[in-house]
Structure 1
């Protein structure tokens, strides 16, 4: 049993948001303890080994936006925290990836002018719509992207476009595409980009999607060698070196408001904190506060949101370098001929796994030391997995894994016969290691009219919801939100 602790800030969860909040708060002079249920930090920014540590698999990190110098929000954040050595370990992609659709292989460069030129070459009849798209990315997308800087009074809203931005937030990205483009093909090439933010074009609101495109096209896409776990470990080391306390394998069970402080009971100890920073799902916070009488009212607030997508991932080790089987790009988006506009019936009957975009990530290109590793990933939802009994679960898991591999063979025929190891994960797997509601990897869905600011008014002012659940999905969002809230809450609560 660890001795009881008394601190300014108690952070629940050592994912990227929690680590960045903790690092920022200790840098501001506050005493901080982070309590993490898992035996390692990082949340989804972690890895695991197989075959006596010969192969290393990254759980999710291969594209981190916002790292272009003097442009990206994440670059700005890491510089302000004086994490210069970490900035040097990010490597900007020279291309976003390749979209494969109806026998077209469209390589998407990393620079916005080159992306626009590529789209015009492939879709010359859509020049007007392409010009409108980039105009909207640079205006509405930029305005949404600067959300965190606005919180810190470092960006002033452009009121001239505010009404149009609000209108865009009320429609889906696919609705928006259909207003600016003449044909379907360019829509099916651009729509899959939404998966990087855990979204589907016929669900995500257009205003948020333009933000994602700005972050990707203008903010700078990068990766960290050593996988996402290396990123998490570096942040943890900085947090501890600057005076923070980390408690692993220490799940939080209950919280009690004692008027002048919060009393937090964990697996190993009791922590007295001036404020609690909850990076876990809001529903879990309410469970920890089950004795409080305001739970039902805030549950009604949470009911306004829909839990977002997790993912099904097939981890592959192959016997030859990926280039030998014609895999050169960092990532391929394999789009079915019908595109991503699937129906609810398709999803319910598993046709979804044949129809929706399948990404093929070339992790060997990011980190050669990890082996000849590929990952096949598709957005998936916990509702399709959590109710299954073990035997049924394993059978279905194998069925979906086989579907993905078969789709990969169709695009990369030389892959057949080269797989020497495979395994897969589902949203249920994600839940086991992260405790995220329904195994979601992307928090709440950013649907039309979604307003995450409703989560800012938690009925107990000693508890702050600081997470992708309250700020929006993605690595960059998690890290920038943690930093921003660490700066703002340290100022408002300092005595």
Structure 2
């Protein structure tokens, strides 16, 4: 029997952004129903088990920025919601990670002053460029990072640097590096940091990249013990405790505008809502509204954007503690001697997987109870996977998996013979469980001149795009954007 709901807000998707919006809105006095297609909440912040639940694997990178007290946007957000017990769940990283380049292991600390000192020691000829970089992070990066505070009138744009900020948004991070640095090596050590926000230095605009560096260096990097699923489950618990309603295994099929409200048809329910909060890709919102006159016009806006990267991930269980095979850091970035400046031809002939940065995450450091788990991750694109037949898909998946393992064994030879369980996922796998366009894990690419503000005014004013697709990629962005929109779109907004 179909159950009907009458609610203020219907949220499509129970990822981090949807959960944060829902929690904020119910705390502001609104009634909220979240409809989720999957059997669990979290989107990419989920996990899965293998070998009779003996091993647990995280579905995405296990780094959360913005948790430094008073400074980080995410700390500010969770503190304002009174989620102090959740803040206590986060454990700070002792280091951002270790970059492996041309045989050198360069440990990147977690404190900005120590990062700066490390770079100056490793690259004494680049001191002026390093000084310039940190000045730009503290000004332009900070300005971009304060986007969420600006939305709720808590930050005023520094007009003195606005023109230069706009110029930075027109060039790539690599072009910016080539301006401020003399040599290639420091560029190849810093460029891989972009992957944490789903970016590549020769694509991402420099203004946004400086934002990412501010979030990482100054905002505070942390993790939640128990993988990203722990974070999602804690947010869900708070949402339900405050009166929210979650409908799982319940994809949204259609939406109709009935004047004063929207009528939404899902797999199990018919829902009447005053407004719809769509955390899914904008393309999917248009499919749900295929009878609306303005669909074609908004498609033209969407064409301004390029769907971002997903990832290929190899999940590995080893037979000994990682430190026994010389894996001590929580994360390694394996950079090829040629760096990340690959060509389109490299990507199309699969040489890309030998060249681009491969991250090695030591999950045993984050969650010892999950086993001796390593995860090998590289940005990848759905365009390389969705067209394949089943047989082609399996063969190619095995081929790329072998490439990753070969690269890791070359860096950590003691791993040889210690791999006891291996499994891989692709952007196609990502799509199966998240329904994100092309299996993207990072929404739209933040290319030069990209303006996500174009998505802020959906033609139907009862539908709001509240997601990383409209706010930018990353855990911190998802949660902060959900919070600010929950404040702004609630009837009882208290800023």
Query: Shared fold by TM > 0.5?
Result: yes
Alpha-carbon deviation of 1:62? 1.3
For residue 105 of structure 1, what is the aligned residue in structure 2? 105
Aligned to 1:379, the other structure's residue is in SS state: strand
For residue 187 of structure 1, what is the aligned residue in structure 2? 187
**1:414-429 equivalences in 2 (<5 Å):** 414-429=414-429
For residue 76 of structure 1, what is the aligned residue in structure 2? 76
For residue 13 of structure 2, what is the aligned residue in structure 1? 13
C-alpha deviations, 1:444-463, integer Å up to 9, x for none?
Answer: 00000000000011100000
For residue 260 of structure 1, what is the aligned residue in structure 2? 260
5+ long unaligned stretches in structure 2: none
Question: Are the aligned partners of 1:168 and 1:207 in contact in 2 as well (CA < 8 Å)?
Answer: yes
- Indicate how the Cα distance of structure 1 residues 265 and 136 shifts in structure 2: closer, same or farther if over 3 A, else same: same
Aligned to 1:99, the other structure's residue is in SS state: strand
Alpha-carbon deviation of 1:2? 4.4
Distance 2:273 2:102 in 1: 57
5+ long unaligned stretches in structure 1: none
TM-score (norm 2): 0.99
- Indicate how the Cα distance of structure 1 residues 354 and 380 shifts in structure 2: closer, same or farther if over 3 A, else same: same
2:293 is the alignment partner of 1:293: yes
- Indicate how the Cα distance of structure 1 residues 237 and 61 shifts in structure 2: closer, same or farther if over 3 A, else same: farther
For residue 134 of structure 2, what is the aligned residue in structure 1? 134
Alpha-carbon deviation of 1:493? 8.5
TM-score (norm 1): 0.99
For residue 304 of structure 2, what is the aligned residue in structure 1? 304
Distance 2:263 2:416 in 1: 57
Distance 1:181 1:416 in 2: 38
User: What do you get for the CA RMSD once the two structures are aligned?
Assistant: 0.8
For residue 154 of structure 1, what is the aligned residue in structure 2? 154
Alpha-carbon deviation of 1:44? 0.1
Distance 1:387 1:493 in 2: 46
Alpha-carbon deviation of 1:175? 0.2
Alpha-carbon deviation of 1:3? 1.6
Distance 2:243 2:315 in 1: 37
Distance 2:51 2:99 in 1: 32
For residue 204 of structure 1, what is the aligned residue in structure 2? 204
Distance 2:423 2:193 in 1: 25
Question: Are the aligned partners of 1:61 and 1:223 in contact in 2 as well (CA < 8 Å)?
Answer: no
For residue 334 of structure 1, what is the aligned residue in structure 2? 334
Question: Are the aligned partners of 1:325 and 1:412 in contact in 2 as well (CA < 8 Å)?
Answer: yes
Distance 1:324 1:39 in 2: 37
For residue 406 of structure 2, what is the aligned residue in structure 1? 406
Question: Are the aligned partners of 2:487 and 2:493 in contact in 1 as well (CA < 8 Å)?
Answer: no
**1:452-463 equivalences in 2 (<5 Å):** 452-463=452-463
2:45 is the alignment partner of 1:53: no
Question: Are the aligned partners of 2:28 and 2:493 in contact in 1 as well (CA < 8 Å)?
Answer: no
For residue 249 of structure 1, what is the aligned residue in structure 2? 249
**Runs of 4+ displaced beyond 2 Å:** 491-494
2:430 is the alignment partner of 1:438: no
2:209 is the alignment partner of 1:215: no
C-alpha deviations, 1:58-91, integer Å up to 9, x for none?
Answer: 1114110000011100000000111111100000
How many residues align structurally? Answer: 494
Distance 2:102 2:439 in 1: 32
Question: Are the aligned partners of 1:61 and 1:227 in contact in 2 as well (CA < 8 Å)?
Answer: no
For residue 379 of structure 1, what is the aligned residue in structure 2? 379
For residue 171 of structure 2, what is the aligned residue in structure 1? 171
Aligned to 1:4, the other structure's residue is in SS state: strand
Distance 1:113 1:461 in 2: 46
Aligned to 2:301, the other structure's residue is in SS state: helix
C-alpha deviations, 1:395-424, integer Å up to 9, x for none?
Answer: 000000000000000000001100000000
- Indicate how the Cα distance of structure 1 residues 434 and 415 shifts in structure 2: closer, same or farther if over 3 A, else same: same
**1:380-399 equivalences in 2 (<5 Å):** 380-399=380-399
Distance 1:408 1:448 in 2: 33
Question: Are the aligned partners of 2:277 and 2:466 in contact in 1 as well (CA < 8 Å)?
Answer: yes
Question: Are the aligned partners of 1:109 and 1:115 in contact in 2 as well (CA < 8 Å)?
Answer: yes
